[in-house]
Structure 1
Amino acid sequence: MSPNYYAYFPSSGSIARFIGEMLSNGFNVVGFNWLSSPAATELETIVMNWLGKMLNLPKCFIFSSNFKGGGGVLLGTTCEAILCTLVTARDEKLSQIGKENIGKLAVYCSDQTHNVENGLVPCFLCATVGTTATNAIDPIKSLCNVAKEYDIWVHVDAAYAGSTCICP
């Protein structure tokens, strides 16, 4: 890692992370589902529930044996997370409108898009809480209202400033 990296972003490394990564690699953990690694999956479930509770998310976002759904996954990078979210949103929308319409899907990341009039189908909206350059915050509530109108998936990228949501 370049020493100049620390001038812009704080290090994501910690002693606990290093030890966890070392143990995970040493045991060759393939933690993508419960069958391949029950311990890793159970730990991921616990951590996701802790995070959901720290953020005061509704119970539908918490893993529960009484509720089908909720929860989440731990991913290595923001890019990985956005890609997984985008693929899930795409697949959900295609299940509604048919796979033959894949070329009509539109993704919204700014207010400079007017594709509905052109016959495109909105499927994903990416909002940001804390951009890396200016720490700008998108108007989440009004964006969610528009997304609800078009029944599209909303992803809030809070990788840079989202941790403030759990600060006292």
Structure 2
Amino acid sequence: MPRKILKKIVYAAVISGIIIIPGVTDVLAASANPESNPVERIVEESSGRVEIDIPDNILDELLRDDQPKHTTKSQKNSLKPGINKVVGYRIQVFSDGSRQSSLESRARARGNAVVAKFPKYRGQVYAYSSSPNWYTRIGNFRTSQEASAALAELKGAFPQFANEMRIVKSQIVVIK
């Protein structure tokens, strides 16, 4: 749909007393009282000619054909600026439940070895216990494809414990 037609549709919606706000699912019907109704007041003061300037980035989003027509749950849970916790994937590089006295140090050592070879994972090493086991997981991957590529890279770099590595679904940290 061309931008000009979209602007005319928005114009028609304003004239008919409906306010449509992009990104908001509710449609607000305007009341008949022009004193309390900003749409009626604007139409009255402008002699029926109302021009709405929609920023290009919003128009681009409205005009994209590949977007679903209805709001999905994932769209409602879109990322906010800052730190977000979402479901994603990590690579488990260590998991053991034997010899409790040395497990924590072994779990942390495995994470340190990965960071020494791949500094891009600094700050993305998660060593924790769930009694009686210790785990070390690496990364914050949004898709299984990203995690698979990283897993192949890590297995190539650490063949001595490649058979212990696997992708696990996990809550991850995403910074926007």
TM-score range, shorter chain: under 0.3
Greater fraction of residues in helix: 1
- TM-score, normalised by the number of residues in structure 1: 0.26
Higher alpha-carbon Rg: 2
- Larger RCO (CA under 8 A, 6+ residues apart): 2
- TM-score, normalised by the number of residues in structure 2: 0.26
